Structure 1
Amino acid sequence: MDFQDWEMLAALHKTENITQAAQRLYLSQPTLTSRMKKLEDHYGVQITMRKRRGITFTPEGMKLAEHAIRMLREQREVEEKLNNMKHQVAGTLRVGVSNFFALNKMPKLLRLFKQEYPNVEFQVVTGWSSEMHRLILNHDVHLSFIKGDYPWKEQKELLYEEEICIASPWEFEWEDLPSLPRIDYYTDENMKTIVDSWWYQHYKQRPNINIQVNQVETCKEMVINGLGYAILANLVVRPYPELIIKPILKPSGESITRKTWMYYHEDSLQLNIVKAFIRFIEGLDVKAL
């Protein structure tokens, strides 16, 4: 197997779908299928099997895929070490970023960092914070920007803390919330647990959710257009003074907040590119960006 074979097997392992793997590799589906057939002929084994949706690996194919993923990781580590030996801030920085941070903070951070270190490239993965936590645990990224508190025994930096609030297009009384239309959005379990715990500490009824969307930004637009209220983090709606925004509170009267962290491994600091980026972030007021 060569590097292209490693990439192909890793993409198939990630997607379990030939079409999606081909798109990731910028190949046509027939080209990828042909390369798979050559690899199967070379080893004399069947690598994948079709299932109802997509493909799955045979035991022999799984062994080859695991080898490919391991080789890609080792290749990446060698390249990083070689770049590091040049005593330059260069190479590819791999970052996991929660969705809101990716949309509202990350483009500015990357632009400012690249102005200072023009030889750096970025590989950015976005998603829910729970996914970004998994990526950093598995060493798939150098560092992750994560909303909420997740189990982590290595290094982390608190970037900012924000209140969780009710954002409404109209004035409301707290006791009226169960009867008012609420807009909800898919989020990670951490945020969902915070909101649900607060709700059922105050109300016996289920919320009147009449619109369910897939992203917090869509939810925000629904609120701005007067379709209902939402429970979300303050930074999402802070730029809209026309909305009525009230923080939700603990029984003690304190605001319920959610923290945004930068997680990273201690050994990553041995890489010039990671050390430079972390020092760069520490020198900024990220919340104000």
Structure 2
Amino acid sequence: MLLKYQNWEMLDALYSTGNITQTAKHLFLSQPTLTTRIKSLEEYYGVQLIIRKQRGITFTPEGEELALHAKRMLREQTKIEEKLNNMKQEVTGTLRVGASNFFALNKMPKILRLFKQTYPNVEFQVVTGWSSDIHRRILNHDVHISFIKGDYNWNDQKELLYEEEVCIASPWNFAWGDLPKMPRIDYHTDEKMKIIADNWWYSNYEEHPNINIQVNQVETCKEMVINGLGYAIMANLVVRPYPDLVIKNLNHPTGNPITRKTWMYFHEDSLQMNIVKAFVQFIKTLDVKGL
């Protein structure tokens, strides 16, 4: 059974990465060991599973069919492990959580530490990414819980954790009319946040923003602002701990502040698992915004 599970895991990782070197690193195997295991599978099934290319690999039709079977078997294995843990009537097992990048960096470590203090027998698998990625993972049942910034289509259970203003953060004082000429620092973010910023800008200015620095992450952008290199449009929580910055909230034409919500998404049927039910109840008791 263990050998089969290892082979499923190997095929799933190989299919995801399309690269033997990356798969070997992911599974903590040497490349020769991984290659030997692939050859053993090919001999066992009597078919070629992969074709090596100059960069990476591609799966044969037979190999792809076996890789998809491996993914199904891994999911079934996870389900039976979760069911057996739940039958113990204890809060134990592995909780699979997805979190947006900012939430993962600033909230998740504290949340998981506090939860584990109450339930020491739990383990965690955490994946991070843009909110759009984490939304897809909860839709696909890849995680039990997703923490997501922004409003995404969701017809199952959700809990509003907090709402924060979207603001201008600047190292110096400014008038609204100054912004088009001021240096702006931009950062890669999910599409919904980009739409918020763009809609506000082009509702108020005819000129394009004067973007002279572009970075990958909001945390890098924040450091650029702190060091006096320009202003940025970001969620208020990112810059709230820095009183020396000038922070002005963005408003709708009605005068109401433009805000962004952070949600916890989960499936109703997953509450049948003790670990998920306990975690959801635990989150509802927390002041997540204040962590």
Q: Per the shorter chain, which TM-score range?
A: over 0.9
Deviation at residue 50 of structure 1 after TM alignment: 3.2
Quick check: 1:109 aligned with 2:76?
no
Once the two structures are superposed, residues 64-123 of structure 1 have per-residue CA deviations (whole angstroms, 9 ceiling, x without a partner) of 010000000000000000000010000000000100001100000000000000000000
TM-score (norm 2): 0.97
- Residues 1:70 and 2:72 aligned together: yes
What is the alpha-carbon root mean square deviation over aligned residues?
Answer: 1.0
Q: Give me the whole-angstrom Cα distance separating, in 2, the residues matched to 1:52 and 1:243.
A: 51
Once the two structures are TM-superposed, the CA of residue 51 in structure 1 deviates from its matched residue by 4.2
Per-residue deviation, residues 239-273 of structure 1 (Å, max 9, x unmatched):
00000000111110111000000000000000000
Partner SS state of residue 90, structure 2 = coil
What secondary structure is seen at the aligned counterpart in 1 of 2:163?
strand
Q: Which residue of 1 aligns with 2:255?
A: 253
Secondary structure at the aligned position of 1:288 is classed as: coil
TM-score (norm: length of structure 1): 0.98
Shift of 1:37: 1.4
The AA in structure 2 aligned to 1:70 is R
Query: Is 1:237 equivalent to 2:239 in the alignment?
Result: yes
Q: CA deviation at 1:237?
A: 0.2
Aligned residues: 289
Question: Of the candidates 37, 46, 49, which is equivalent to residue 44 of structure 1?
Answer: 46
CA shift in 2, pair 1:271/1:254, >3 Å: same
User: Aligned runs of 1:200-215 on 2, under 5 Å?
Assistant: 200-215=202-217
- Please show how residues 135-214 of structure 1 align to structure 2 within 5 Å: 135-214=137-216
Identity of aligned residues (%): 74
Quote the residue 1:22 is aligned against. Answer: 24
Supply the distance in 1 between the matched residues of 2:22 and 2:54 (Cα, whole angstroms). Answer: 15
Q: CA separation in 1, counterparts of 2:55 and 2:285?
A: 48
How has the CA–CA distance of structure 1 residues 52 and 189 changed in structure 2, closer, same or farther, with 3 Å as cutoff? farther
**Residue 21 of structure 1, CA deviation:** 1.3
Residue 135 to residue 225, structure 1, CA distance change in 2 (3 Å): same
Distance in 1, Cα, partners of 2:177 & 2:82: 57
**Structure 2 gap ranges (5+):** none
Counterpart of 1:58 in structure 2 is 60
Kindly state the Cα deviation for residue 53 of structure 1 after the two structures are TM-superposed. 3.5
Equivalents in 2 of 1:33, 1:249: separation in Å?
Answer: 58
Distance 1:165 1:52, change over 3 A: farther
Instruction: Please give the alpha-carbon distance, in whole angstroms, between the structure 2 residues aligned to 1:175 and 1:29.
Output: 59
Q: CA deviation at 1:128?
A: 0.7
Q: One-letter code of the match for 1:79? A: E
Residue 149 of structure 1 aligns to a residue whose secondary structure is coil
Query: Residue 198 of structure 1 aligns to which amino acid in structure 2?
Result: W
TM alignment of 1:95-106, pairs within 5 A: 95-106=97-108
Give the Cα separation in 2 of the matches to 1:40 and 1:159.
50
